[in-house]
Amino acid sequence: NRVRINELLQRPEAGGEVTIHGWVRTCRHSKGFSFLEINDGSIIHNIQCVVDADVPNYDRDVKALQTGASVRVTGRLVDSPGKGQRFEIQAKDVHVYGNAEGYPLQKKGHTMEFLRSIAHLRARSNTFGAVLRVRNVMARAIHDFFQSRGFVYLHTPIITASDCEGAGEMFRVTTLDAGDPPRAEGEIDFAQDFFGKPTSLTVSGQLSAETAALALSDVYTFGPTFRAENSNTTRHLAEFWMVEPECAFFDLDDDVALAEAFLKHIFSTVLSECPDDMDFFNKRIDKTAIETLRHIVESPFERMSYSDAIEILSKSGKSFEFPIEWGLDLQSEHERYLTEEHVKRPLVLTDYPRDIKAFYMRQNDDGKTVAAMDVLVPKIGEIIGGSQREERLDRLQERMKEMGLPEEDYWWYLDTRKFGTAPHAGFGLGFERTIQFCTGMANIRDVIPFPRTPGSAEF
Ligand code: 4AD
Ligand code: MG
């Protein structure tokens, strides 16, 4: 007979006996009664419980209650005379599971930095409760989007021998082979013996997804990926979740259209399914959060080529910290100028110089650019990176040779181009950056339960 607080608050009317379980957010003890604000994480709102001094264990348990304690409360659901809440519980019975002496998460506003230092408790704060609920709804929206379009959810390996992005930003897999004396420097590692070659944590499931797309037509991955890059920014994690659709018989235009429909589906789902949490973000974190999402859902994305973007940036008259010219990768200040000052909405940039992009991207006829596309959004910058893939065996081999990638290591990937190759395209969406964008949370460390960044792997 445990009811969740969200279910209670959505009832059409008061009445009846209810039992709730949760954690005390605040308590006020007056002469003869106590007010408890209880939250169970099912919704951002608390329910107030009024406990009269005549409940049996009042003096021993209720009066001693502190913020953070866990309780079970049974009582009548009544209309609340207080402002801003429909119902309250007139308690008949209060059971205390555990009090919370010295609880670090007292009521008053804590900094995000402080909350990060107690990541094991921060889900009990309003902000992180809301983040985790929105994150969950977004994950479901992602699966719904692809499942309703007949995509197959593919589980790609986390341990891999290939560097998909070719950026050398991989975490090497090794073992602690217990019992043996520690191995000397340079001595072959057990994990390398085990797999027969050096392995790492994957930076992207794309290469595996391509093999599946060239059999099942439409697939997607949704899993953790790892990057040993300098993650000391507000938009980089060493461990983050990526969503990677891959579609056969798809070109770059199809890919761009899929990305736009996909993002709009996620944003409109968040708006319709997370009204209370989005209200909270809109009031407390980013005053434009809801309006921004609504606007994006309703209007088409802007699209331009990398070359046009460079021209706009050069003519902008802005003095950037990193000067930009054709051939250089965009820095976040450039992405932000384009999305925040130039188009003021999501921007799809296409046809990047091939020398700043990965080996698998399809080469354009100009000999200089590839059929790449990135989706940039205001405040965050890049949230999607994708491309049409090079499906022509000879062009792919040529490019790999130029980039010094040994064919022996990619024989299985090349096989897909030898046996029934087909045009195909896909992209990767950074899940945490997308959550940041929806919620307005400033730091990516605050939209994942336990962030992995340089110097931080506790919890
Ligand atoms: O642009 P990226 O590197 O693309 C790929 O990995 C392709 N293989 C994807 C594909 O085509 N299937 O990464 C994709 C997205 C970025 O746009 C960004 O949103 C996110 O992943 N991302 C990160 N998010 C958090 N922390 C990091 N260190 C990230 N690196 C990339
Ligand atoms: Mg990218």
Which residues on adjacent β-strands are paired with residue 51? 34, 91
> Can you tell me which residue has the tokens 């250089």?
328
- Calculate how far, in angstroms, residue 400's C-alpha sits from the geometric centre of ligand 1: 21
User: Could you tell me where the DSSP H helices lie in 217-288?
Assistant: 252-273, 275-284
Range 27-39 average pLDDT: 95
pLDDT over 60 at 179, yes or no: no
pLDDT score recorded for residue 174 = 84
Residue nearest to atom 18 of ligand 1 (CA): 430
Over the chain, what is the mean pLDDT? 94
Q: How many CA atoms lie within 13 A of 58 on its CB side?
A: 16
Beta strands in 10-59 (DSSP E): 17-30, 33-39, 47-52
The number of the ligand nearest the C-alpha atom of 222 reads 1
Measured from the alpha carbon of residue 213, the closest ligand is 1
First to last CA, the chain: 33
The yes-or-no verdict on residue 316 having pLDDT over 60 is yes
Q: Are 378 and 331 in contact (CB under 8 A)?
A: no
Do 424 and 389 meet the contact criterion of CB atoms below 8 Å apart?
Answer: yes
Tell me 404's DSSP state: T
Ligand with minimal distance to 154 CA: 1
Asked whether the ipTM of the predicted complex exceeds the cut of 0.95, the reply is: yes
167 pLDDT band, cuts 50/70/90, is confident
Residues paired with 385 in a beta bridge: 374, 428
Cβ neighbours, 10 Å, residue 348:
21
| Residues around the ion ligand 2 (C-beta < 5 A) | 385
- Give me the pLDDT at residue 196, please: 86
Q: Whose CA is nearest to atom 4 of ligand 1?
A: 385
Q: Which residues contact 96 (CB under 8 A, 6 or more apart)?
A: 57, 61, 62, 65, 69, 70, 71
Which residue carries 């794309």 as its tokens?
A: 206
Residue 305 forms beta bridges with which residues?
Answer: 350
Mean pLDDT of 208-230: 96
164 contacts: CB under 8 Å, gap ≥ 6: 202, 203, 204, 205, 206, 207, 358, 360
The C-alpha atoms of residue 57 and residue 74 are separated, in whole angstroms, by 13
Helix (H) or strand (E) holding 354: none
Distance 168 CA to ligand 1 centre (A): 14
Question: pLDDT category, 1, cuts 50, 70, 90?
Answer: confident
pLDDT value of position 187 = 60
Q: What average pLDDT score do residues 428-441 get?
A: 98
Q: What is the mean pLDDT of residues 28-49?
A: 96
Q: What is the pLDDT of residues 120-162, one digit of tens each?
A: 999 999 999 999 999 999 999 999 999 999 999 999 999 999 8
Which ligand 1 atom lies nearest to the CA of residue 237? Answer: 26
Supply the pTM of this predicted model.
0.96
With bands split at pLDDT 50, 70 and 90, how would you rate the model's confidence at 419?
A: very high
Per-residue model confidence as pLDDT tens digits over 231-277: 789 999 999 999 999 999 999 999 999 999 999 999 999 999 999 99
Give, for ligand 1, the residue of 218, 240, 453 to mutate: max count of ligand atoms closer than 8 Å to Cβ: 240
Residues 92-99 have a mean pLDDT of 97
Closest by Cα among 53, 63, 52 to 96: 63
Confidence check: pLDDT of 406 > 60: yes
Contact 32, 23 (CB under 8 A): no
What share of the chain in percent tops pLDDT 70? Answer: 97
Adjacent-strand bridge partners of 49:
36, 89
DSSP track, 104-132? S--SSPPPHHHHHHTTTTGGGSHHHHHHH
- The 3-state DSSP composition of the chain as helix, strand, coil percent (nearest 5) reads 35, 25, 40
The per-residue pLDDT for 355 is 96
Q: Band the pLDDT of 440: cuts 50, 70, 90.
A: very high
Q: Which of 146, 171, 204, 437 to mutate to test the pocket of ligand 1 (most atoms within 8 A of CB)?
A: 204
Q: Using pLDDT thresholds of 50, 70 and 90, give the confidence band for residue 175.
A: confident
d(CA 31, CA 53): 8
Q: What pLDDT, in 10s, does the model give residues 43-60?
A: 999 999 999 999 999 999
Atom 20 of ligand 1 has which residue's CA nearest to it?
430
Q: Mean pLDDT, to the nearest integer, of 32-46?
A: 97
The Cβ of residue 418 has, within 10 Å, a number of other Cβ atoms equal to 9
Residues in the chain: 459
Ligand 1 atom closest to the CA of 245, numbered from 1 = 12
| Nearest bound ligand to the CA of residue 444 | 1
Q: How much is the average pLDDT of 349-372?
A: 97
Mean pLDDT of 401-410: 94
Q: Over 60: is that where the pLDDT of 178 sits?
A: no
List ligand 1's pocket residues with C-beta within 6 A: 164-165, 204, 206, 227, 229, 231, 236-237, 240, 242, 244, 382-386, 426-428, 430, 432-433
Tell me what percent of the residues of the chain surpass a pLDDT of 90: 86
Atom 7 (ligand 1): residue with closest C-alpha? 428
